[in-house]
Structure 1
């Protein structure tokens, strides 16, 4: 009576039962990934924050001294015989040329030489250079001759990093800033740059005037660039650059961005099931929804009270998913009544026992008389949590030692047939035999149950799902959050002869008995 020929019947999925979810808001997927990998994001933020504190603590304050120049350019005009006039003719090119002169290597080297900055640890860090170390180790003395040149180049490099020269807007004013860890040193170097630059201008005009006649020489000396100092540098009273708070916040922002980027990269390379889309892409089955996480506040933790709490709370998203599963499973075979339902999974710990108990309880709430059978002798969660004190169970009913009605534990209208023996695994060979077929017939005909829900073992490593196929009308596959895609596909390939009876899937995001 219970065995049916499914070979000629095509698999049917009711399209009206597919999960109709609204369009996701912008970045909803990214926010979900961040929530899933929050530990990675938090770790990156903490590491970057620690680095920011170290940098802010170890980085010495720097002071910027300022010198301003007003650039002028004099040209000689011959108005009449023996009459020569000097006129100003400043152009953008002239100002930009003077900016480049102030930033040039000759100007910098002249300041370095005059102030002996090659002996200053700020510009040439203390310690033996690699050339000296190589010379001492190999005995190649000629390498030491390059030490002076190396010190000058090092000082020049650090000098130019601390120097900033730019034109202020479209004016003729050029601003020179020099940064140093010592405010007095910063002002001294900035003023020396000014002196070297002005001296160079005077020498250039003097050399140009040598070629003129004695009468024209003093007038020619007034031509060419003529830069005046508007403000000489004074030791700054406060440090410039980024404050410690800005540095710390910048490192925190960098850590957050790095953590989010790393989380997205981990997710992109992860082949595990994280959401409904991953599950739909992994297996060609309908997904009836995602069981959400349930807050522990205000709810029982275990047992039938937990099941009843969720069923009675009609506003929970979990209840809606179970209701969706019920409608989908019961309408899997149009024109035929579904009497036996098997709930299984591809891996242990996926929460299938919760789904089986929820499905059975919801069917009872809908007015049906339902028997929930714990058919998992390897891990009988239903028996331990919902019927821990039952006198009889599945083993006794199959052997015929005790009448079936005496083995069924009743709880709020739900019949539960538990496994009571302490040697659970020894009963596996007895369950899926002709005795189970007779038990199902007795439960439906004599005990007048409308439907039977089986809590089955996982597909792997057990063979119970394949053995149960002749007696089960339809299966529901529960997938746990984080299960591997390839593992699910491999398990379904192992039962490809009964896969057509799988109505659909449900993703468990962390709810369990």
Structure 2
């Protein structure tokens, strides 16, 4: 077999080796971020639309009435024989001054006094929250049973009534101060109308809103009337200080007001259309969702595509391992060996071997090709399987690789060499027994410590008993002699190594391995952490054969916008085991 030296990443020319450039933020990147969280965006849109629909149903009905006034400014000009009136040209500053007078508290107070004198205080329309609280209090109170005279209220009814009283909004109370009540009425009137100029003309429009159409028309007309009365009073006051001849002429000088369209009670509601509010709310919810998706994508540095794996590690991505939902949880054991043997098996420990057409099996087959191309043909070959952190599935990949090779006729030994977290020993053994630690202490391979799986002939060496002394390091020169002795009986030795986070143990283990396969948890590990871990791992980086992207949600993989991910999604047959 040909032995090619160099970086294994350059050995297999496939599309998964692409992606050396830095990630570019463009429209494809944004579209990928939106597609990846499309479900959340749709949920936010539906939530916003539902809240808007609730508001449309619960909002009070309002009516708007309009009064139009024509404003002119008469000036008194003098000739040799008499004084004449002349109408000045339209002046924006004059019109703005008059509109500010109409909006002033003086005019609003005069309108409020007239309305209170004829109609009383305006009925207060409760807000949406007030109405919801009142409705909830009424429904909770209705659940309580009436208490017959002479009987004691049950604890449940007492709790329901107390809850209704706590939710029920407090009734508005009159302060008893006439001035305060008058000022509140003035503020309510002032907030209920507006004054605007119509185009570039001298016509202004008074727009008044109220919950009753008659009151809306009355407010608009009363504002026009109060303003007219105020201007008349101002002219009379100015004329009092003039001579008798001039006094009659000054009465007609200044702003002149003419009502050209008096407000009538409106017949149609002036609320914004409900469908427009719902659509606008849905758009706002969608915008919020898209913004969140883009920000999340921008700050999410976890590995989610094969291109990210290549950029972070410099090695080829061997493939993906789908999230094995149908294979069962780690706590669900399946005993397929004869009764009494100390070895038990997980349903996912040999998933690749028992499902040869699965994506998992195809990925490990690719790993086998990388091993054959990257390592010399002579036996034994010690393959280490590790991850950046614990919990990324390195033990599961190591067990499946050993079972896959054994099912193809190779003599394989699986070793639990993870002293920090002996996951394989805990999961595969029925009861504690001696293992690697005892073999190293004895100075050789112990046949009693090795367990055999009769289904495919794979041999397994656990770490050792839980009560065995583990203060001494495992990866020492004693391990070199042990592996050399074991290599005489096995073609391939697969070792579950400590994670890269355990820097000292990972570096020590690397010198005894022929090659290393790195497992990266999909959306579990950040690309920067992979770079740091490999930079500190010494020989692991040089011996890296490839990376397996583990626990991938295949349905979400195609939404990453990655060409390699789309290729793998189609190649996997859209599998989600």
Common fold, TM-score beyond 0.5? yes
Which of residues 262, 265, 269 in structure 2 aligns to 1:232? 262
Residues 473, 312 of structure 1: alpha-carbon distance in 2 compared, 3 angstrom cutoff: same
- Does the 8 A contact of 1:288 with 1:506 survive in 2? yes
Name the count of aligned residue pairs: 460
Q: Residue deviations 1:210-263, cap 9 Å, x none?
A: 566666655554442222212111222222233344444444444444455556
Q: Residue deviations 1:424-468, cap 9 Å, x none?
A: 979999996745433333434xxxxxxx36262553789986675
TM-superposed deviation, 1:420: 9.5
Q: Residue deviations 1:488-511, cap 9 Å, x none?
A: 789779965756544554443526
Match of 1:20 in 2: 18
Q: Residue deviations 1:309-338, cap 9 Å, x none?
A: 99768xx8x899778866766666799999
Residues 351, 401 of structure 1: alpha-carbon distance in 2 compared, 3 angstrom cutoff: closer
Residues 247, 398 of structure 1: alpha-carbon distance in 2 compared, 3 angstrom cutoff: farther
Match of 1:137 in 2: none
SS at match of 2:65: strand
Matched, 1:476 2:478: no
- Does the 8 A contact of 2:399 with 2:414 survive in 1? no
Distance 2:243 2:106 in 1: 31
Which of residues 447, 456, 459 in structure 1 aligns to 2:496? 456
Structure 1's unaligned 5+ residue stretches are: 1-8, 133-146, 385-393, 445-451
Match of 1:443 in 2: 490
Q: Structure 2 matches for 1:278-293, cutoff 5 A? A: 286=315, 288=317, 291=320
- Does the 8 A contact of 1:374 with 1:380 survive in 2? no
TM-superposed deviation, 1:87: 3.5
Matched, 1:73 2:114: no
SS at match of 1:116: helix
Structure-1-length-normalised TM-score: 0.65
Distance 2:64 2:364 in 1: 69
Q: Structure 2 matches for 1:144-293, cutoff 5 A? A: 147-210=177-240, 220-259=250-289, 261=291, 286=315, 288=317, 291=320
Residues 241, 273 of structure 1: alpha-carbon distance in 2 compared, 3 angstrom cutoff: same
SS at match of 1:64: strand
RMSD after superposition? 5.7
Distance 2:53 2:503 in 1: 55
- Does the 8 A contact of 2:309 with 2:317 survive in 1? no
- Does the 8 A contact of 2:74 with 2:86 survive in 1? yes
Distance 1:295 1:216 in 2: 101
Match of 1:122 in 2: 124
Which of residues 414, 420, 424 in structure 2 aligns to 1:374? 414
- Does the 8 A contact of 2:17 with 2:317 survive in 1? yes
Of 83-92 and 59-68, the range deviating more from structure 2: 83-92
Match of 2:99 in 1: 99
- Does the 8 A contact of 2:519 with 2:548 survive in 1? yes
Distance 1:159 1:280 in 2: 69
Residues 418, 167 of structure 1: alpha-carbon distance in 2 compared, 3 angstrom cutoff: farther
TM-superposed deviation, 1:478: 0.8
TM-superposed deviation, 1:75: 3.2
Q: Residue deviations 1:87-136, cap 9 Å, x none?
A: 3522222222222221122111211222239943539993256xx9xxxx
- Does the 8 A contact of 2:68 with 2:262 survive in 1? yes
SS at match of 1:66: strand
Match of 1:342 in 2: 384
Residues 480, 80 of structure 1: alpha-carbon distance in 2 compared, 3 angstrom cutoff: same
Structure 2's unaligned 5+ residue stretches are: 127-170, 330-346, 429-435, 554-575
Match of 1:447 in 2: none
- Does the 8 A contact of 1:14 with 1:331 survive in 2? no
Residues 34, 354 of structure 1: alpha-carbon distance in 2 compared, 3 angstrom cutoff: farther
SS at match of 1:158: helix
Match of 2:564 in 1: none
TM-superposed deviation, 1:191: 1.0
SS at match of 2:488: helix
- Does the 8 A contact of 2:62 with 2:211 survive in 1? yes
- Does the 8 A contact of 1:70 with 1:174 survive in 2? yes
Residues 128, 300 of structure 1: alpha-carbon distance in 2 compared, 3 angstrom cutoff: closer
Of 42-51 and 171-180, the range deviating more from structure 2: 42-51
